[in-house]
Chains A and B, each alone.
Chain A
């Protein structure tokens, strides 16, 4: 079985020897072995058997086994729909949930079912989803998905970390105005050079002042407050919100 763990499955009929493969995965996981080569090899020679072993009724519910099988997601997705695959993996071994979420966020940033995984496995649901989606250039899709799921706190956190107004825009499109104000403020706190007024006006509408005043009240730092005050000509509510107490 050592050879199997190294990815040498020569002469193996995976479907006929599924129980033996399962035993190799289970015992290897118990020992803390690296199972990735085994999953890669299995995915290469028989994706159906690979999916059966990873997600079937007798799949190994061990976080090491589940995390390792993520190297075979191309093969797994060719057999099992992603909307069923990843929740199943995360349910098998909840300790592997964060790793599953990381893969999902990069591969399916716009899928609505990702929000359910975020709620279970992200301490600030939505944050990881957006940050990883941004890495693969899919922030807009992910923001739309998170906004539909009302993951406001995570969106605001990601807006601050990434310094982007896209989460705020997505929340406005979903009519979640208070969350949008928070997300816009976190982004502008981080990056006061962002085109805050043009962006918010373009998605919220031309009567921006009451909304923008809500953003202003959420700002934490002096520099963005001063910059916004300079920009907010003709916006009395916003100026009032920024006035020193």
Chain B
């Protein structure tokens, strides 16, 4: 059960424009996501953008059970959101990590990610992908449907960092869950 998270920004409003969500097609399958959009806008505009994303992703009702098919539906739904509802950048600043799981394993996809780390309850965080991995890239709604990594198992948390948050060094590297999760808006 790998849960996607996205590290907050610096400054007084670290989660302006951040969103998370989840769909459970069956007891043995689910799709979870964490992302951000309209992060440069004022708080209310950023909030409305997150609600627009939420609406687009949930509006279609249940999602496919198969992890690959579920991701395909996910991206199709996101593509249907009105750009004008996504803040002043019209979705050009979106970052998103999505995980689909079924009985066979997991599929991970995303856009606008600078780093993705595996985080567990005990061990220090470690890079889950690196270098020029296709999961990493510039923010913005994708022109083509992003690819996906399929794996048998995921770490408890997959923690992504948007490229703009890597300026002063990766804030996750070497950290531990109790320090990292609050930076993602998760308080245990």
Contact = CB atoms under 8 A, between A and B. Distances in A.
Contacts of A227: none
Contact of A202 (B16, B20, B182, B187): B16
23 contacts: A140-B12, A173-B12, A175-B182, A177-B187, A195-B47, A198-B46, A198-B47, A201-B47, A202-B14, A202-B15, A203-B12, A203-B13, A203-B15, A205-B8, A205-B15, A205-B184, A205-B186, A206-B15, A206-B18, A206-B19, A206-B34, A206-B185, A207-B20
A202 B46 contact: yes
A187 to B, nearest CB: 15
Contact of B18 (A177, A199, A201): A201
Contact of B43 (A140, A202, A204): A202
Contacts of B29: none
Interface string B98-131: 0000000000000000000000000000000000
- A-B interface, 10 closest residue pairs, ranked by CB to CB distance from nearest: A205-B185, A198-B47, A202-B16, A202-B13, A198-B43, A206-B18, A206-B20, A205-B15, A198-B44, A202-B43
Tell me whether chain A's interface is mostly helix, strand or loop, or mixed. Answer: helix
Interface in A16-31: none
Contacts of B138: none
A198 B18 CA distance: 10
Given A175-B187, A203-B14, A205-B184, 17 more contacts: A177-B187, A199-B43, A201-B16, A201-B47, A202-B13, A202-B14, A202-B43, A202-B47, A203-B12, A204-B185, A205-B18, A206-B19, A206-B20, A206-B50, A206-B185, A234-B54, A234-B58
Contact of A169 (B12, B46, B50, B54): B12
The number of chain A residues touching the other chain, given as a range, is: 10 to 19
Contacts of A206: 15, 18-20, 34, 50, 185
B150 to A, nearest CB: 26
Interface residues of B, number: 23
A12 interface: no
Interface string A176-220: 010000000000000000010111011111110000000000000
Contacts of A198: 16, 43-44, 46-47
A213 to B, nearest CB: 14
A197 to B, nearest CB: 6
Interface string B159-184: 00000000000000000000000101
A197 B15 contact: no
A173 B187 CA distance: 12
Most central of B17, B43, B46 by chain A CB within 10 Å: B43
